[in-house]
């Protein structure tokens, strides 16, 4: 499998491609990483250094990769945090060209814009751009519950409401919606859930909720789910494998006391998921 991943890069820590590439490689996936920013560290520190790449530079890198004949070999395009408004057109154009070279290729978009606790942490134009331009051309989207609500103009809380919102998102274009953090009021105490909806059905998986915010965990989740789904064409199995690996990564990081993901130390959890969580079909 080959994945073209258009995301940020940081020198210290693990977000964007600096979170997604290595887990994919441990799954045996060939990754073509395209940088959108080259920062010293993620912006959660409040200070960082390094350039936001102009969209024209990102487009040039993509063109060079295309000229090597790579686009026809790409099974999936993956995108995450979009630092500026101009990068969306570059990503959309790259998806179009990849699919022209390989019509079976999928586009997985992680529509990063914020979360329920922090609100939106991207430029005000980005959520609208994602909703109106990017999500409609995606095959897979991986929003959290807050992002799903913005995309669909809803406020999902219960499983039924989240399913209805996912249906609205699927009507926009994507056939598969992975909701990466479902926090329904009636869930079992001390748990958090993920929900996937596609043409075959809907499945929910529950894992323990750790009191720890891990920057980059969403990037790992989107990458692993994309790879597992492309490989198996089974949303429930992809969900179980992803939930297993991501929980063990976050748990290892939490127990280490470190701020940054223990991405390398958790590598066996990607290559061999323990499959300790079972997805329940809810529709």
Residue 148: per-residue pLDDT: 96
Domain residue ranges of the chain, discontinuous segments joined by +: 2-281
Cβ(186)–Cβ(203) below 8 Å? no
Residue 120: per-residue pLDDT: 66
For 2-281, the fitting CATH number among 3.90.1280.20, 1.20.120.10, 3.40.1190.20, 1.10.10.10 is: 3.40.1190.20
pLDDT digit string (tens) for 175-191? 999 999 999 999 999 99
Residue 193: per-residue pLDDT: 97
The continuous run of DSSP H or E covering 164 comes out as: helix 159-171
Cα(11)–Cα(51) distance, integer angstroms: 12
In terms of phi and psi (left: phi > 0; alpha: psi -120 to 50; beta: otherwise), the region of 134 is alpha
Residue 85: per-residue pLDDT: 84
| CA dihedral of 125, 131, 134, 137, whole degrees rounded to 10 | -170
Residue 124: per-residue pLDDT: 77
pLDDT digit string (tens) for 7-27? 999 999 999 999 999 999 999
Residues of the chain with pLDDT under 70: 116-121
Residue 118: per-residue pLDDT: 64
pLDDT digit string (tens) for 84-120? 789 999 999 999 999 999 999 999 999 988 776 666 6
Q: What phi, psi does 54 have (nearest 5°)?
A: -60, 145
Q: Which of 207, 211, 212 is nearest to 261 (CA)?
A: 212
Cα(121)–Cα(111) distance, integer angstroms: 12
Query: 257: which residues sit within 8 A by CB, 6+ positions away?
Result: none
Q: Which two tokens stand for residue 223?
A: 């990458």
């Amino acid at each position: 499998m080959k994945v073209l991943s258009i995301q940020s890069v940081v020198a210290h820590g693990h977000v964007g491609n600096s979170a997604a590439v290595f887990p994919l490689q441990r799954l045996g996936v060939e990754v073509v990483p395209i940088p959108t920013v080259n920062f010293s560290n993620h912006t959660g520190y409040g200070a960082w250094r390094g350039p936001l790449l102009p969209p024209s530079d990102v487009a040039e890198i993509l063109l060079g990769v295309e000229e090597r004949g790579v686009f026809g070999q790409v099974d999936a395009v993956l995108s995450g945090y979009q630092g500026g408004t101009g990068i969306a057109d570059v990503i959309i154009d790259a998806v179009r060209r990849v699919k022209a070279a390989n019509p079976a290729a999928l586009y997985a978009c992680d529509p990063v814009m914020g979360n329920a606790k922090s609100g939106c942490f991207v430029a005000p134009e980005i959520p609208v751009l994602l909703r109106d331009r990017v999500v409609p051309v995606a095959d897979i989207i991986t929003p959290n519950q807050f992002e799903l609500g913005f995309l669909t103009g809803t406020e999902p809380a219960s499983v039924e409401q989240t399913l209805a919102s996912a249906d609205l998102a699927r009507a926009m274009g994507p056939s598969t919606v992975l909701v990466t953090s479902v926090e329904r009021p009636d869930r079992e105490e001390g748990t958090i859930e993920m929900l996937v909806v596609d043409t075959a059905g809907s499945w929910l998986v529950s894992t323990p909720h750790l009191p720890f915010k891990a920057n980059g965990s969403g990037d790992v989740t989107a990458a692993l789910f994309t790879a597992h789904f492309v490989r198996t064409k089974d949303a429930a199995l992809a969900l179980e494998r992803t939930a297993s690996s991501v929980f063990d990564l976050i748990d290892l990081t939490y127990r280490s006391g470190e701020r940054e993901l223990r991405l390398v130390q958790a590598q066996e959890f990607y290559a061999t998921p323990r499959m300790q969580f079972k997805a329940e079909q809810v529709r």
